[in-house]
Amino acid sequence: MADDRLEHCKRLLTELVAFPSISADGNRAITEYLAELLEAQGARVWMEPDETGEKLNLFGTIGPERDGGVILSGHTDVVPVADQQWSNDPFTLIERNGRLYGRGTCDMKGFVAACVTMAAEFARADLAVPVHFAFTYDEEIGCFGAQALTASLAARGLKPAAAIIGEPSMMQVIDGHKGCFEYTTWVTGLEGHGSAPDLGVNAVEYASRFTLALAELRDALKARAPRDCPFDPPHTTINPGMLTGGLVHNVIPGKARLDWEMRPVQPGDADFVKARLAELVAQDWLPKMRAIHPNADIRTETVAEVLGLTPEQENPARDLAMELTGANGAGLVPFGTEAGLFQAIGIPSVICGPGAIAQAHKPDEYLEIDQLAACLKFLERLGQRLARPVSP
């Protein structure tokens, strides 16, 4: 039985990898295919598109129509393969030496394939509470799908008891990670000849001042670190990722762009950073810029603000995952996931999925077959745990 289940899952993963569902290109085709598979097992499915219609969230349910139950959550988008040196076609799954190679095998179509493989067994079981399937778009570029989906769940009044997010954790139980807040700051100055810098507004110069301000905020954030914070490092971090601007060496640059991020350990830190930057912009930099050029500007665009997963003393999702895996504790990870978005609407959440994050996003991405088998066993135990007790 277990061998047949694993072979079925491998075949399904082969089909899912063949969908080139790179975030920029949309995930409509793969999501509609998953909906067909779930509906064939009797799942009640609804989908919601983004504004383009090319990206879809899917939410499906097997079991009784009632509160409670468990969400199995995964994303169907993958990162690009451009400029990566793959040994084989990244969208053709290759099995070799106990590994399954292909884009998305590890992050995270392996988990999605395992969930859909087990749908038939969930449907045959006499479940006391429902099993929900939540498959989202655009996780890789800002968790936009999960933000829309969790808002819909809250609006619909759905109240699952737990969410298991199957990001690659080597099937270890994870109950915490930092948030990931990403921004782009645009600076508009005034171009001119490099020999007369006082007659222009150098956008790169002011973007550099913004960058230095971010660096100077690091010490303040270290001082704000919560006592006994479990994260490493135990404080909110800031990283200026890319600064671009200008044309040639003798022209005052009129445009500049700064991409930067912070990883909050507590919500108040983001407000603290934003307030300090807003003060510098309004009271120092803009007055100087606009004294020369009234249309000069510094504008920060929010790319994404993805909440972290906060470790909590009471977490039924974590306790369930520990029970199913036999783990005697939970850990933390440095990367972000959709888990904090479910937690934010009151659904206890945990991360537990097959594969290693070290394999994600790389050329020749792979998933160990043993990890896929362990995930299937985990889901089998979940179904048994949620089934009604057999009458004597």
Cis peptide before 240 (omega within 30 of 0): no
* Measured CA angle at 55 (ends 49, 60), to 5 deg: 60
pTM exceeds 0.75 for this model: yes
Q: What is the mean pLDDT of the chain?
A: 95
**pLDDT higher than 90, residue 209:** yes
In the predicted structure, residue 52 carries a pLDDT above the cut 90 = yes
CB 231 within 8 A of CB 176: yes
Under a CB-based contact definition with an 8 Å cutoff, are residues 335 and 108 in contact?
no
Task: Please tell me the predicted confidence (pLDDT) of residue 109.
Answer: 98
Q: What percent of the chain has pLDDT over 90?
A: 94
Choosing among 3.30.2130.30, 3.40.630.10, 3.20.20.140, 1.20.120.530, the CATH entry for 2-177+309-386 is: 3.40.630.10
Answer yes or no: same fold for 2-177+309-386 and 180-306: no
| pLDDT of 259 higher than 70 | yes
**pLDDT over 60 at 268, yes or no:** yes
156, 344 contact by CB (below 8 A): no
Judged against a pLDDT cut of 80, whether residue 389 lies above it is answered with no
Instruction: Tell me how far apart the alpha carbons of residues 364 and 123 are, in angstroms, rounded to a whole number.
Output: 35
Q: How far apart, in whole angstroms, are the C-alpha atoms of residue 258 and residue 249?
A: 19
pLDDT at residue number 100: 98
pLDDT in tens, 154-165: 999 999 999 999
Tally Cβ neighbours within 10 Å of residue 125. 17
Q: Which of 186, 164, 169, 167 is nearest to 318 (CA)?
A: 164
CA atoms within 13 A on the CB side of 371: 28
Checking if the pLDDT of 198 tops 60, the result is yes
- Which of the four pLDDT bands, split at 50, 70 and 90, describes residue 1? low
Q: Which residue has the higher pLDDT, 284 or 304?
A: 284
Is the distance from CB of 83 to CB of 117 less than 8 angstroms?
A: no
Residue range 90-103: average pLDDT? 98
Of 107, 138, 139, 140, the catalytic one is: 139
Position 390 scores a pLDDT of 52
- Assess whether pLDDT exceeds 80 at residue 357: yes
Q: Is the pLDDT of residue 280 over 60?
A: yes
Q: Decide if 65 is catalytic.
A: no
Q: Determine the length of the chain.
A: 392
Q: What is the mean pLDDT of residues 95-119?
A: 98
Check residue 59 and give its pLDDT: 98
Tell me which DSSP letter residue 389 carries. P
Rounded Cα–Cα distance for residues 293 and 67 (Å)? 59
Domain definitions of the chain by residue range: 2-177+309-386, 180-306
What is the CATH architecture of 180-306?
Answer: 2-Layer Sandwich (3.30)
Percent of the chain with pLDDT over 70: 99
Candidate list 77, 107, 167, 368, residue with the active-site label? 77
Beta strand extents in 63-148 (DSSP E only): 70-75, 94-96, 99-101, 131-136
Q: Which residues contact 327 (CB under 8 A, 6 or more apart)?
A: 172, 173, 321
- Could you tell me which residues are beta bridge partners of residue 60? 45, 133
User: What average pLDDT does range 311-318 have in this prediction?
Assistant: 94
Complete edge-to-edge strand list for the sheet that includes strand 366-368 = 94-96, 99-101, 366-368
C-alpha dihedral (256, 261, 267, 270), degrees to nearest 10 = -30
H-helix or E-strand spanning residue 14: helix 2-17
Average pLDDT value for residue range 78-100: 96
Two tokens at 73?
A: 């959550």
182 CB neighbour count, 10 Å cutoff: 20
297 is catalytic: no
Q: What is the pLDDT of residue 266?
A: 86
pLDDT tens by residue, 328-355: 999 999 889 999 999 999 999 999 999 9
